[in-house]
Structure 1
């Protein structure tokens, strides 16, 4: 077990799109293990490689007793149904903000051995798949908030002990039906 430090909001790696994985080897399997171990240790529902400072399109998840990982995920949305509820992030410790996400998602990618993988998510699993895929694209969930919620979230973030005021971060909204999604 190798628990790694988690990068906190303001770290530029969290705003940098991750690179596709093209080699499925022992090093990648070690990264998957580190993601799972660190996520479990922190009690998270998901953890993406950029949160460990690693620019790879990989994340782990643990939602409703479904534990796993996915590599190079592509999201598809079978319908337009949405959910609005509290969302948190291990890179913004202790904070939760109501975030609108799609209710139903299909994630297609690969497992740690390069075998095709498909995950069908509803509710919390759908939220997790979208949240972690956003991390792989350099998007943090507060970017998905409307203007008023985002301003409120930034005020709460700036009040945290872990917040580094020397790091200047511009938060911009992103369309939840962005170019990295297939509809």
Structure 2
């Protein structure tokens, strides 16, 4: 299908909790194709449906050369002591800030046929699963930053030349 433009910080769709995907609904396959095409670009670890302007509960991840998608994902397990990791976001381009994430995560959801999918992993995969699930819940990663880091991040974002625009 197509690589879709990424919605940027300030776009209200990023703050909205997404609706469940109705399995078998027309357009689901096209949404998954667009998510896969959009996450396949170099340097992208994940894309949530609301980042491409679709208010449905779906995301893709691209970790270690493998692209996966999941519909209606829910985090079912987090493991290990949370630790600070540098994190960025396509919706907040050009910035990386340290934020607490669990080193292991497991997500359960569905594929296009309604069959169960489980995505899990450590390191970048765990970070991506937590990050993309947060997107679907209407939360951006900067909301989870330590207070002083969050103030710094918000100052930088408001001064960014892309603020309020979409990018390819």
The two structures have a TM-score, normalised by structure 2, of 0.92
> What value does the CA root-mean-square deviation take over the aligned residues?
1.4
Task: Indicate the residue corresponding to 2:30 in structure 1.
Answer: 30
2:132 matched to 1:160?
no
Q: 1:131, CA displacement in angstroms? A: 0.3
Task: Indicate the residue corresponding to 2:66 in structure 1.
Answer: 66
How many pairs does the alignment contain?
164
Q: Which segments of 5 or more consecutive residues in structure 1 lack a partner in the other structure?
A: 165-183
Rounded to whole Å, the distance in 1 between the matches of 2:132 and 2:160 is 23
Q: 1:127, CA displacement in angstroms? A: 0.4
2:38 matched to 1:48?
no
Rounded to whole Å, the distance in 2 between the matches of 1:43 and 1:90 is 10
Task: Indicate the residue corresponding to 1:81 in structure 2.
Answer: 81
The one-character-per-residue Cα deviations of 1:116-142 (angstroms, maximum 9, x if unpaired) are 011122111000000000000000000
Rounded to whole Å, the distance in 2 between the matches of 1:125 and 1:24 is 28
Rounded to whole Å, the distance in 2 between the matches of 1:32 and 1:160 is 30
1:1-183 superposed matches below 5 A: 1-41=1-41, 43-164=43-164
- Consecutive aligned runs of 4 or more in structure 1 exceeding 3 Å deviation: none
Distance verdict in 2 for CA 1:5–1:130, change over 3 Å: same
SS in structure 1 opposite 2:18?
coil
The one-character-per-residue Cα deviations of 1:60-95 (angstroms, maximum 9, x if unpaired) are 010112211011111123534223111111111111
The one-character-per-residue Cα deviations of 1:99-121 (angstroms, maximum 9, x if unpaired) are 11111111000112211011122
Distance verdict in 2 for CA 1:96–1:106, change over 3 Å: same
Rounded to whole Å, the distance in 2 between the matches of 1:87 and 1:40 is 19
Rounded to whole Å, the distance in 1 between the matches of 2:77 and 2:63 is 19
